[in-house]
Amino acid sequence: MRVRKVVLREIHLNLIEPFETSFETTDLRRILLIEAHTDVATGWGECTAGEHPYYSYETVETAWHIIRDFLWPILRGRDIASASETWDLLSRIRGHNMAKAGIETALWDAEAKWKNMPLSQLLGGSHLEIPCGVSIGIQDSTEELLAKVEKELHAGYQRVKIKIKPGREVEPVKALRGRFPRIRLMVDANSAYTLADAPLLKRLDPFYLTMIEQPLGWNDIYSHAQLQKQLDTPICLDECIHNGSDARAAVETGACRIINIKLGRVGGHTAARRVHDFCQSKNVPVWCGGMLESGIGRAHNIAMSTLANFTLPGDVSASRRYWHEDIIEPEVEVSRQGTIRVPAAPGIGYVPRLDRIESLTRRREMLE
């Protein structure tokens, strides 16, 4: 498969409602799409870098620069037998995993289309249906939060995650538990606490949360190991896990009992599979995190979630929870049982809507 051309596009998409986390509130997504042309097929990927460097140091701007000036010169015109070779080819560039994942995942889609098989199958996935959860942003009041959660449970979602920040954790969790004693409930702090907050976080233990996600520093595995010793609630790491060695350090130091895998954060399907396989060998369950992706990133998340050790519901929800209209056909739908049926069509299995993508495009660049 010879890599011939890449088209970068920045599209703007308005979220149905603002999404508030401990680090920012997002209402407009700037999304970098990557269309990779090879001599045998064309594939699509999405770079999950954000508008600001508040979740990770990457942004749409840094990713554009890294792809154009460093990744593309390595891949341009290159003949690869499989997209799985991409990660090693790009290893000379330190970090910038979201930029790498954008282009790497596009090549996986192209390879699967060339081989006329679903991407899930090419990755070695086995699940035909994946379990889904929702991630709910910080709300203005507990009443609004309860109403949101009720609506999502009614839609069938199997697990509820709420975002928390200092001063907005014990009370919302207590209210939710009072109202919904049996649901699978978890919280995500996005690094808003420090080890000195251990007594405060300990107050969440009585509410038997399935996990607390990334309470401490975005790159601080050691402190999470100290915290996990003091908590009954399992810690799940998100921001801290950038590759297989981070996963190993986290699991072997006892910094977490669960890992959230995001394609962008670890650098694409090959790297994600490495983290997945390591966790599987240690009996550490994983789930697929979300980055408010458009349908293209979402489709890649669905394919990745078919790997055997993705046993917990992911932040992979229906298109209609995010967008008035997605950019793929059909849109991603979630069943009343809170599952997504994995598509059987070749590649990512959803068709990018080119005319809609063009009309949303604010910037484009062709790399040849």
Question: Residue 188 or residue 326: which is nearer to ligand OSB going by CB?
Answer: 188
Q: Is 315 in the site for Mg ion (CB under 5 A)?
A: no
Question: Residue 111 or residue 213: which is nearer to Mg ion going by CB?
Answer: 213
271: Cβ–Cβ under 8 A, 6 or more apart, which residues? 87, 97, 101, 243, 244
User: Phi/psi class of residue 77: alpha, beta or left (left: φ > 0; alpha: ψ in -120 to 50)?
Assistant: left
Strand partners, 35: 7, 44
Question: Residue 188 or residue 293: which is nearer to Mg ion going by CB?
Answer: 188
Segment 300 to 359, residues that bind ligand OSB, using CB under 6 A:
315, 317
- Active site residue: 100, 113, 161, 262, which one? 262
Q: Which of 102, 172, 267, 290 lies at the binding interface for ligand OSB (CB under 6 A)?
A: 290
Minimum separation from the CB atom of position 84 to ligand OSB (A): 26
| Among Mg ion, ligand OSB, none, residue 343 binds (CB under 5-8 Å by kind) | none
Question: Residue 18 or residue 77: which is nearer to ligand OSB going by CB?
Answer: 18
Rounded to an integer, what distance in angstroms lies between the CA atom of residue 25 and that of residue 2?
41
How many residues form the binding site for ligand OSB (CB under 6 A)?
Answer: 11
Q: Is 293 in the site for Mg ion (CB under 5 A)?
A: no
Q: How far is CA 51 from CA 107, 231, 261, in A?
A: 24, 34, 21
Rounded to an integer, what distance in angstroms lies between the CA atom of residue 298 and that of residue 348?
9
262 carries an active-site annotation: yes
Minimum separation from the CB atom of position 317 to Mg ion (A): 14
| Among Mg ion, ligand OSB, none, residue 291 binds (CB under 5-8 Å by kind) | ligand OSB
163 carries an active-site annotation: yes
Q: Which of 20, 238, 246, 293 lies at the binding interface for Mg ion (CB under 5 A)?
A: 238
Measured torsion, CA atoms of residues 137, 143, 147, 153, in degrees rounded to the nearest 10: 70
Angle, helices 269-281/295-304, rounded to nearest 10 degrees: 30
**Which token pair is 249?**
């350090």
Question: Residue 238 or residue 246: which is nearer to Mg ion going by CB?
Answer: 238
In the three-class reduction of DSSP (H, G, I as helix; E, B as strand; rest coil), residue 47 is classed as strand
Q: Which of 35, 188, 246, 293 lies at the binding interface for Mg ion (CB under 5 A)?
A: 188
**Which token pair is 234?**
């399992």
| Among Mg ion, ligand OSB, none, residue 292 binds (CB under 5-8 Å by kind) | ligand OSB
Minimum separation from the CB atom of position 240 to Mg ion (A): 10
Q: How far is CA 36 from CA 39, 114, 210, 235, in A?
A: 10, 13, 39, 37
Strand partners, 33: 9, 46
End-to-end CA distance of the chain: 16
Strand partners, 271: none
Minimum separation from the CB atom of position 317 to ligand OSB (A): 6
Question: Residue 104 or residue 213: which is nearer to Mg ion going by CB?
Answer: 213
- Active site residue: 100, 115, 163, 202, which one? 163
Minimum separation from the CB atom of position 178 to Mg ion (A): 25
**Which token pair is 35?**
């269309």
Q: Is 188 in the site for ligand OSB (CB under 6 A)?
A: yes
What positions carry a catalytic annotation? 163, 262
Contact residues for Mg ion, defined by CB under 5 A = 188, 213, 238
Contact residues for ligand OSB, defined by CB under 6 A = 55, 135, 188, 190, 238, 289-292, 315, 317
